[in-house]
Structure 1
Amino acid sequence: MKRIKPELIAAIERTAQKLKEGAAYQWGHMGACNCGNLAQELTFLSKAEIHRYAMERSGDWNDQILEFCPTSGYPIDLIIDKMLDYGLTLEDLGHLERLSSPIVLQALPIETRNRLNQNRKEDVILYLQVWAKVLRDQWASQQEMEDLKSPEKKLDPIVLS
């Protein structure tokens, strides 16, 4: 993860909420899977558009991530590049598709962690919710660290007579 952006956290939370409220989910569909649903939120493209663009090159999201080249001219690479602009890394996208980020998994109880299924909608919702919370906590810590690093207000010296 690059520098955490509040816009990314909000997009992850909206994605989880939309899935919870019944948004289309299909793990084998490039526009309606784990990454596809987040891509919809970050790019404002429809699931059909994302799927169509992804199908211009072979492979699933993991293959697309491996073949990513921001100057390729493939629309899926432009989509991935836009997602990276929000602070995601290619590794983050791979973890999202497989529900495998060690940081997110560590925040889950072991029994839940061991039963996660990358193509079960309820598990994707839970993963997104926990991921957003982990990022929100990390972002808050970053803000505190920046506050500590910022120069203190210049104080007037005490003059003793």
Structure 2
Amino acid sequence: MATPNLKLITALRKTAEKLSNGAKYQWGHMGQCNCGNLAQELTQMSENEIHAHALQTREGDWSEQTAEYCGISKLPMDVMITKMIEAGLTTNDLQNLEKLSDKNVLARLPKEKRYLSHNVRTDVVIYMKTFADFLEEELFLQSVELPDFSAVLQTTECL
């Protein structure tokens, strides 16, 4: 699962907002699909640059590209994926984003809304917003310090 951080949360929210407001969306275009739109926000590359990087590297959609990812390669797509990993994502997160399939994200949706279509703009927006909410809560939970109850737990007397 992604490493929760403000940069990634903000990028997910901005991407969802841009898609809601009519940003180019075409699931078959590597720079205009689910991951491609998020990549624009995280890498500041254009949709056409992203698409060109993908075509220069190897065949396949984002799921296939991330399955073949090599972190030490200098292939254009691998360099771009590395930037997204540095922002907190994993290759599994990217595969799930492309298919809208992360169980942790989907579990947060009402049961009747859990069957999202990976190539429907409104479903992508819902998924990205929900993913951002999930990461935001995880980030908050990481910052909360709980008291040390070990002394209480060691007492054998009942109250």
Q: Return the TM-score normalized by structure 1.
A: 0.88
Contact 2:5 2:136 in 1 (8 A): no
Do the aligned residues in 1 keep the contact of 2:31 with 2:46 (CA within 8 Å)?
yes
- Map of 1:62 onto structure 2: 63
1:31-50 CA-partner distances (Å, limit 9, x unpaired): 00000000000000000000
Q: Tell me the matched-pair count.
A: 146
Contact 2:2 2:93 in 1 (8 A): no
User: In the alignment, which residue of structure 2 is the partner of 1:122?
Assistant: 122
User: Which residue number in structure 1 is paired with residue 107 of structure 2?
Assistant: 106
- Give how far 1:59 is off: 1.0
**In the aligned structure 1, how far is the partner of 2:146 from the partner of 2:130?**
27
Distance 1:148 1:46 in 2: 44
Offset of 1:2 from its aligned partner? 4.4
Q: Secondary structure at the match of 1:55?
A: helix
CA-CA distance at 1:128 after TM superposition: 0.5
State the Cα distance separating 1:58 from its structure 2 match. 1.0
Q: How far apart are residue 73 of structure 1 and its match? A: 1.6
3-state SS of the aligned residue for 1:118?
Answer: coil
For 1:23 and 1:143, how far apart are their aligned partners in 2?
34
Residue identity in the other structure for 2:27 = W
Aligned residue number for residue 74 of structure 2? 73
Q: Find the residue that maps to 2:84 and give its secondary structure.
A: helix
2:55 is equivalent to residue 52 of structure 1? no
Q: Which residue of 2 aligns with 1:132?
A: 132
Q: 1:105 to 1:2 in 2, by over 3 A?
A: closer
Aligned equivalents of 2:77, 2:3: Cα separation in 1: 23
CA contact (8 A) 2:16 2:129 kept: yes
Write the distance in 2 (CA, Å) between the matches of 1:3 and 1:15.
Answer: 18
**Offset of residue 71 of structure 1:** 2.1
Instruction: Kindly state the Cα deviation for residue 72 of structure 1 after the two structures are TM-superposed.
Output: 2.0
The TM-score, its normalising length taken from structure 2, stands at: 0.89
Aligned-pair RMSD on alpha carbons?
1.1
Please give the alpha-carbon distance, in whole angstroms, between the structure 1 residues aligned to 2:111 and 2:2. Answer: 27
Mapped to 2, the partners of 1:90 and 1:71 lie a distance apart of: 14
- Unaligned runs of at least 5 residues, structure 1: 150-161
Q: State the alpha-carbon separation in 1 of the partners of residues 99 and 18 from structure 2.
A: 20
CA gap 1:119/1:38 in 2 versus in 1, 3 angstroms: same
Structure 2, unaligned runs of 5 or more: 148-159
Displacement, 1:98?
0.4
2: CA distance between counterparts of 1:63 and 1:91?
Answer: 11
